[in-house]
Amino acid sequence: MLQNQSALPLGGEPEPSAPATLSASDWSRVGRLLLLSSLAVIGSVGNVFMISAVMIEDHLKKRGNAFLVNVALADLLVTGLVIPASTVVILAGMQDSPSVCSFQWFLGILCCLVTVLTMAATAAENYARLCLPPECYTLLTPGRITATLLAIWALSTVAVGLQFALDLGPNYCTHHLAGLLPYHAVVGSLFVLLPALVTFACYAQIALRVRAAKSRPSFKPPVTFSWDYALMKTNVYSSVLFVAVWLPLGITLAVASVQHVATRIFYNLAWLALSKSCFNNLIYCVTNRHFRNAYVNLFHYCCCKTTVSFSRRQRGDVARPSGDVRVHIIPGYNMYSYTSPQRARETCKTASCRPGTSRPNGRDVYEL
């Protein structure tokens, strides 16, 4: 998103601007190059770590987390293609490149739309994983998840492609905004507002049901439930970050359809929106311990050349800390079903539960 265009700005009068390489009047060439290069490198490495974490960490190897990988992949396209294109422009000393700007704007909008739709799918998957019976979650097969992801990319590509082919706008490079407010409102409501409402509605329902369940003294969920609920909260933080950085740009586009908006404001908000792709992976590192452990292992393996084991230790390995409860991860569960004595007896019959097994430290081991 990001070239210094000779076209007139949003209000019609010429203003100095550099959408691809930041403002030339505020930033030196070396400063812009270092900033954009740093964002591209840090963001790309972080997104690769996020994708790898889901593949190597046992606690994250769940089919529903493929949606998190899809978000990281969309962010990787921004940090690996959109932002580096600006560094190429700076190094080449180019002033105007409509083709580069169009490429960046197309890919930026495409990744934004993919992220919005994937966040809605992630919220629905979290609701099914935490609140619905196991038999409902089992309907979410790997094949259906793959089909959903392919449909998201296909729908997003067609929508953005038609926008560019028919020159419907909004267009970051040509400032084609005026007179298209009804179209913008319809498209924004269907592809952005509705998925966002679905996302936060699912998370609100999960929070309400979990709070109601925790108020019962008999509610004792398995440890895997706590892990999944913690990951759900991290997904909420990621969604809030996305809204916080993209909503100002969306409001600016809507306002610019009816009145003039300063070019500098428009471009700065666009860069703020793109920065989400660089820092989203850090949200998962900071707020989720399983992602954090995977990041640390990947760092030691890639940077320190340290031999790291990415699998859980077996029964014969070093003893676990005292007081823990060993629970095998199961594909899905209903958070209310484990409070029932009848369900507990059935679980013991099917999974050879031996609550009386003693450990050297006097603790018991429970296997579900």
Q: What is the pLDDT of residues 260-299, one digit of tens each?
A: 777 778 888 888 999 999 999 999 999 999 999 999 999 8
List b or e across 327-348, with b for residues whose CB sees 16 or more CB atoms inside 10 angstroms: bebeebbbbbebbeeeebeebe
Q: Is the pLDDT of residue 78 over 70?
A: yes
Q: What is the mean pLDDT of residues 348-362?
A: 46
Q: What is the mean pLDDT of residues 183-192?
A: 79
Give the helix/strand (H/E) hosting 333.
none
Are 20 and 101 a contacting pair, CB within 8 Å? yes
Which residues lie below 8 Å from residue 323, measured CB to CB, with a gap of 6+?
A: 363
Q: What is the mean pLDDT of residues 26-54?
A: 87
User: Which of 130, 95, 120, 109 has the alpha carbon at shortest distance from 213?
Assistant: 130
Assigned token pair, 205 = 């329902």
Q: What is the mean pLDDT of residues 8-28?
A: 49
pLDDT greater at residue 88 or residue 117: 117
Which residues lie below 8 Å from residue 248, measured CB to CB, with a gap of 6+?
A: 269, 272, 273
Report the amino acid identity of residue 306. Answer: T
Q: What is the pTM assigned to this prediction? A: 0.76
Average pLDDT score over the chain: 77
Domain spans in the chain, listed from the N-terminal domain onward: 29-302, 336-368
- Confidence band, pLDDT 50/70/90 cuts, at residue 174: low
The hierarchical CATH code for the domain 29-302 is 1.20.1070.10
Q: Is the pLDDT of residue 40 over 70?
A: yes
Q: Is the pLDDT of residue 58 over 50?
A: yes
The pLDDT tens digits for 193-238 are: 999 999 999 999 999 999 888 888 887 888 889 999 999 999 999 9
The pLDDT tens digits for 314-326 are: 444 444 444 433 3
Q: What is the mean pLDDT of residues 331-340?
A: 42
Cα three-residue angle 130-146-299, rounded to 5 degrees: 75
Tell me how far the alpha carbon of residue 58 is from its chain's centroid. Answer: 20
What pLDDT score does 255 carry?
80
The pLDDT tens digits for 220-232 are: 888 889 999 999 9
Q: In 3-state terms, what secondary structure has residue 327?
A: coil
pLDDT greater at residue 324 or residue 150: 150
Q: Is the pLDDT of residue 335 over 70?
A: no
